[in-house]
Amino acid sequence: MSSTTPPLGPPPARLRRRRISFVWVIPLIAALIALYLGYRTYTEQGPLLTLTFNTADGLRAGQTQIKYKAVALGTVESIDLSNDLSHVVIKIRMTNVGARFLTDHARFWVVRAHFTLSDPSSLDTFVSGAYIAVDPGAAGGQYQDRFTGLEQPPGVRSDEPGRTYILTTDHIGSLRTGSPVFYRDAIVGEVLGYDLGDGLDPIKISIFVPAPFDNLVRPASHFWNASGLSVSLLPGALHVEFESLAAIVSGGIAFDLPPSAAATPPSPDNAAFPLYPTIRDAQSASYAQSIPAVAYFQSSVAGLAIGAPVTIYGMQVGVVTDVSLILDPNTAEDSVRVAMSLQPARNAHQADFASDQATSILFQKMLDRGLRAELGSLSLLTGQKDIQLTDVPGAAPLPLTREGPAFIIPTQNGGLDNTIANLNDISSKLDKIPFDQIGNNLNKLLLTTSGTIGSKATRQSLAALAKTLQSTNATLAMFNQDYGDDSDFQRNLDQVLDQATETLESVKELSDFLDRHPNALLLGRGDSP
């Protein structure tokens, strides 16, 4: 039996193939993704835009974006100051899409965090922060990558048709950029801004009314300041006016379209209109025909202001347009000149004022009837005054006179002011009466009277008079013996003595009473015993 023996020595070596470790796969994939993203970013990266603004308020490098219709077109890369430190320089890396906006027609501005009731979407800026908006402007234009940004949003955008109008006023109240423009309580536009000019001329306010609402603005339209609340005390009621909650918070402007202007064409772009303080002022201005008139007062006109109504029988027929003090240098006499604008359109017989001649004839008839102007009280609480045209019975007819084109209406004192003036006159006369002197004299009289009637000498005289009467009684008794008890002489004598006794007792009582109450000469006995 034979067996095989394995050969002695080390076993034969075996070759193994080297495998790639999966540890290197992940970094490799990440590198490929980074290269891809870098390539994509490079290929999609647009040009570098340079903007200059007065301030960088709200802007952040690496965060703030430039947007158009909520689409991001680029991101702010850096914010720096200019060499002269007068403005800031913003570098923005645009996307390829944003590169199409870089023409000399484009405009850029910063939209900062704000809120208006007319634009609730403005709340987004409180969450996302400020951003840079762009308006591409008209098509075409030349390439440009350096711009000076606008400090205020432009009024008219290239993608929003409409018209811009100019309103002139002396006071803007609470109006500001973004304040709404109303038509029949609906928001149809906004305030773009205002220009103070040199500070002497009226303020110019720019508003934008987009299409199709711009067709509602006609040459006969009237604009008024609808900001805040208007509170006034009208006869018999408290009158409160406001356009809307948005107008109370952020101010606002309203306008109307008179029915007579419905057939007229819309006003052109940049047309100018006056801005009236209130709706009543705007309504007064809507009356086409106006008759100027003046009245001169020689009494106080406190409470009478421009815009106060002019009434006849309580119905408004015009407004006060000016109140001024006039001093005559020759006579040194002063008076208050009140200018009025009478509006025949408020009258049912407007045709009676068709011409200046017809108006003159009608005014002369009214003067012959006793037409006068007087101050009236709109409110006793606030002291507001108005002008009342009234007929004075028995007034002498006066010839019609003019001051330039204005008719002069005679005046008279009347109403509450006249009553107060009369009371003041009575009060001034009462002030001239020397009540203190009269009182002193009466006191002296009382003391003298009391001292005379209630004095010791008077009492002694009365006692002596009593004794005299007793003696007289004794003497009369002797006469009685001679004439008898039933004689006429005796009866008459008894009657005289009785009356004398009663008189003496009355004088004594009066003396005692005045001694206790010397003031009874003026005040009377009263309830004193």
| DSSP 8-state secondary structure symbol assigned to residue 396 | P
The whole-number pLDDT of residue 529 equals 44
The predicted pLDDT at position 123 comes to: 59
* Confidence check: pLDDT of 457 > 80: no
Strands 385-391 and 309-312: parallel
Please give the mean pLDDT across all residues of the chain.
77
End-to-end CA distance of the chain: 182
Q: Kindly state whether residues 262 and 374 are assigned to the same domain.
A: no
342 found inside a domain: yes
295 and 402 share a domain?
yes
In a domain, 466, yes or no: yes
User: What is the pTM assigned to this prediction?
Assistant: 0.54
The answer on 413 and 312 residing in a single domain is yes
| CA 303 vs CA 116, 156, 378, 415: distances in Å | 38, 44, 9, 14
259 and 298 in a single domain? The answer is no
Q: For strand 88-95 and strand 45-53, is the pairing parallel, antiparallel, or unpaired?
A: antiparallel
- CB contact set of 64 (below 8 Å; sequence gap of 6+): 58, 75, 76, 129, 130, 131, 132
- Which alpha helices (H) appear in 24-156, and where do they start and end? 25-44, 124-128
What radius of gyration do the chain's Cα atoms show?
51
> Quick check: is 100 in a domain?
yes
Q: What is the per-residue pLDDT across 195-231, written as a single tens digit (0 to 9) for each? A: 888 778 899 999 999 989 999 999 989 999 887 655 5
Over residues 458-490, the pLDDT tens digits come to 666 666 666 666 666 666 566 556 555 555 556
**Residue 195: CA count within 13 A, CB half-sphere:** 9
For residue 424, is it within any domain?
Answer: no
Identify the pLDDT of residue 288: 65
Is residue 175 within 8 A of residue 205, CB to CB? The reply is: yes
Range of the domain at 331: 291-417
Residue type, 384: Q
Q: What is the dihedral of CA 426, 429, 434, 435, to 10 degrees?
A: 0
Which DSSP letter does residue 113 get? Answer: S
Give mean pLDDT, residues 413-438: 66
490 φ/ψ angles, rounded to the nearest 5 degrees: -65, -40
Q: What is the layout of strands, in order, in the sheet containing 131-135?
A: 107-111, 131-135, 65-68, 71-81, 88-95, 45-53, 146-148
Do 384 and 319 lie in a common domain?
yes
If asked whether residues 281 and 337 sit together in one domain, one would say: no
